[in-house]
């Protein structure tokens, strides 16, 4: 309870204009969500600390990939990877800064524009219009739809990108690959996303998704995509 009380005191000192009860509720919900995410985080870290079981599944599904791995270059230098990390972090910091500066002036409209852009890129023009029509006549909110879309796309990239990295596709070509197979990947990912919403048991669904992704990846990737590039 001591960390929660410290966070509550700090929030009330920094934001005098906010309702203290609202701050306390937000801190409590964040702590509960973080606790529930611990199994997922541990499994996520295990994927990178001990990748051999899933790598074995991938190579069993696609034996020619073993021969091709010997022709690939090694990992980039630490300096190169650090530069890429700094570049991504700087880009994210700029986006957060712009959002923070514009929130009081354009915050409401910015959220609408961002929500519409996410739905358009994920569902297309017709899908966006259908979603807006459904949210206007049902209890489903546009924010909930956007949140689900973002999380499903993030899950799809997390379980598929480790195998796409074994191909010769660059970042732009990987985005094109995801756009080309977005419906197949979404149909595979969405049931696991729903199962992951079950408290404390969602990590099992995440593990099943990770274990199933090698077969899906090799099944829907063309030989040119996987071995030769476009």
- Tell me, what's the pLDDT at 103? 61
pLDDT in tens, 123-154: 666 777 777 777 766 666 666 777 777 778 88
Q: What pTM value is reported for the model? A: 0.56
Least reliable range by pLDDT among 61-65, 115-119, 196-200, 202-206: 61-65
- Tell me, what's the pLDDT at 229? 46
Task: Determine the angle formed by the axes of helices 182-195 and 142-164, rounding to 10 degrees.
Answer: 110
pLDDT in tens, 75-122: 666 777 778 778 888 887 777 777 666 666 665 666 667 667 767 776
pLDDT at 228 over 70: no
- Tell me, what's the pLDDT at 47? 66
- Tell me, what's the pLDDT at 76? 64
CA distance 171 to 151: 20
């Amino acid at each position: 309870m001591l960390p929660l009380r410290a966070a509550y005191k700090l929030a009330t000192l920094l934001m005098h204009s906010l309702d203290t009860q609202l701050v306390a509720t937000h801190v409590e919900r964040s702590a509960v969500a973080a606790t529930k995410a611990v199994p997922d985080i541990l499994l996520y870290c295990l994927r990178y600390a001990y990748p051999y079981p899933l790598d074995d599944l991938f190579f069993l599904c696609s034996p020619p990939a073993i021969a091709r791995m010997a022709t690939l270059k090694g990992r980039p230098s630490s300096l190169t990877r650090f530069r890429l990390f700094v570049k991504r972090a700087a880009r994210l910091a700029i986006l957060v800064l712009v959002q923070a500066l514009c929130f009081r002036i354009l915050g409401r409209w910015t959220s609408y524009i961002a929500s519409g852009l996410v739905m358009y890129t994920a569902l297309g023009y017709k899908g966006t219009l259908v979603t807006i029509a459904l949210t206007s006549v049902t209890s489903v909110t546009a924010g909930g739809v956007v949140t689900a879309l973002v999380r499903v796309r993030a899950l799809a990239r997390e379980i598929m990108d480790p195998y796409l990295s074994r191909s010769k596709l660059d970042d732009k070509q990987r985005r094109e690959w995801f756009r080309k197979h977005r419906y197949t990947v979404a149909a595979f990912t969405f049931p696991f996303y729903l199962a992951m919403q079950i408290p404390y048991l969602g990590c099992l669904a995440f593990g099943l998704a990770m274990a199933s992704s090698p077969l899906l990846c090799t099944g829907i990737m063309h030989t040119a995509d996987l071995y030769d590039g476009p």
